[in-house]
Amino acid sequence: MTIGHFAKATRLSPKALRLYDELGLLRPARVDPVTGYRLYAPAQVERARLVAWLRRLGMPLAEIRGVCDLDAAGAAAEVRAYWARVEAETAARRDLASFLVDHLSRKDTLVSTPELTPLTLRYAALSDRGLVREHHQDTAHAGSRLFAVADGHGRAGARASAAAVDALRHLDTEEPPAGHLLDLLQDAADRAREAVHEAVGAGDADGGASGTTLSAMLWTGSRLALVHIGDSRVHLLRDGELFLLTHDHTHVRALVDEGRISAAEAESHPRRALLTRALGPGVDNTPDLRLHEPRAGDRWLLCSDGLSTVVPDAGIRRVLTEVREPAAAVRALVDLANSLGGPDNIGCVVADVIPTPETAA
Ligand code: MG
């Protein structure tokens, strides 16, 4: 077939066909040695159509080449994985967009909004070595404005998790400047990242393998701003239901999102603990930033994987529902993880949102 006929049959322009030839995506069956005309075989129509469809999907040409060389089942798996990545990226951008819309339309500052019911937090933090680990590398903190859990890993893990939380501690006591919340959060995340790099870098020769997760919430008087990186978690108990508000930055979570393994397979996956994002050298340091609207009656839980992978959600929910005082609740959660073997360090923070008592208002 001439390039004109082939273009018509595949709905690709001759210009696109020439480009795909140059990129090695779709070579003509034969090039006339005298005229230089490209000639295509009818059997190539199918591949050309696949290329056209994948282009419409927005897949980069380099990836299309890989997909075209696979059998149908392999190609289907690649397209599914590609689309899962697109959706994950879009979700992250959607969060940032809603954050910005919020920020631009409300002129967020750290001043409580007077028209809302004044809310107060009651809180407690506890961390525990667990029953198996030799070292304690989790850090848990709850203060008047700041709540944080960090789970260190590697030989400098304890230093890393402490440094991440210490870098944010000023938010607790200092009256923050009347800056915008988005900038404040980004600054906090940057400070934590630098502090971890410094703490880990100053350590031993294999400090490069050390780092930490960080899930931290800042209470502004009316809202909760969240910084999250790694696989520690933030849960919300609202109206008796337990919601997971963070996305694990782990290798297995990405595999589940891409449809390559099931959630059940993820639980026993040998590389379950491998983080795709964390604070530390040699890994993506980009945190998720979110804003949440708390309500009176909400109960927030921040915890490390020493709780969330050991105690099933139903157990966590039961303790959070039944144990009233935050200090007793964090104790009960740690005890529960230890009663199930305590294989990892456990860090947790519980914060209750309550209406400000009239006398205090
Ligand atoms: Mg852990």
Q: Return the HEC string of 273-330.
A: CCECECECCCCECCCEEEEECCCCCCEEEEECHHHHCCCCHHHHHHHHHHCCCHHHHH
- Ligand 1 mean position, distance from CA 165 (Å): 16
Name the band, by pLDDT with cuts 50, 70 and 90, for residue 248: very high
Q: Is the pLDDT of residue 301 over 50?
A: yes
- Distance (angstroms) between ligand 1 centre and the Cα of 281 equals 18
pLDDT in tens, 95-151: 777 777 766 776 554 444 445 568 889 999 999 999 999 999 999 999 999 999 999
Give the pLDDT mean for 179-192. Answer: 83
* pLDDT cut 70: percent of the chain above it: 91
Between the CA of 161 and the centroid of ligand 1 the distance, in Å, is 11
Helices (H), the chain: 3-10, 14-22, 45-56, 61-68, 72-106, 157-166, 170-173, 181-201, 251-257, 263-267, 305-308, 313-322, 326-339
Centre of ligand 1 from the C-alpha of residue 199, in Å: 19
Q: How many CB atoms are closer than 10 A to CB 360?
A: 7
Considering the chain, what is the average pLDDT of its residues?
87
Integer CA distances (angstroms), 6 to 38, 42, 53, 57, in order: 10, 8, 16, 22
pLDDT of residue 112: 45
Quote the CA–CA distance of 23 and 7 in Å, as a whole number.
17
**Looking at residue 222, what is its pLDDT?**
77
- Residues around ligand 1, an ion, CB closer than 5 A: 151, 304-306, 344
Length of the chain: 361
Ligand 1 geometric centre to CA of 190 (Å): 23
CA of 133 to the centre of ligand 1 (A): 10
Residue 305 CA to ligand 1 centre (angstroms): 5
How far does residue 207's CA lie from ligand 1's centre (Å)? 18
> 143 alpha carbon to ligand 1 midpoint, in Å?
22
pLDDT at 125: 98
Look at the block and give the residue holding tokens 């305590």.
342
What is residue 136's predicted lDDT score, i.e. its pLDDT?
Answer: 96
Q: Provide the percentage of residues in the chain whose pLDDT is more than 90.
A: 53
pLDDT in tens, 55-95: 888 888 888 988 988 998 999 998 998 888 888 778 777 77
Residue 330 has pLDDT above 70, yes or no: yes
Ligand 1 center from residue 1 Cα (angstroms): 62
Q: pTM for the whole thing?
A: 0.73
Q: Are 303 and 347 in contact (CB under 8 A)?
A: yes
Distance 88 CA to ligand 1 centre (A): 25
How remote is the CA of residue 297 from the centroid of ligand 1, in Å?
29
Between 231 and 119, residue with greater pLDDT: 231
Rounded to the nearest whole angstrom, what is the distance from the C-alpha of residue 306 to the centroid of ligand 1? 5
Residue range 289-305: mean pLDDT, rounded: 91
Is residue 333 pLDDT above 90, yes or no?
Answer: yes
More confident site: 349 or 15: 349
Average pLDDT over residues 237-261: 87
Task: Say what the pLDDT of residue 118 is.
Answer: 80
pLDDT-based confidence at residue 202 (cuts at 50, 70, 90): low
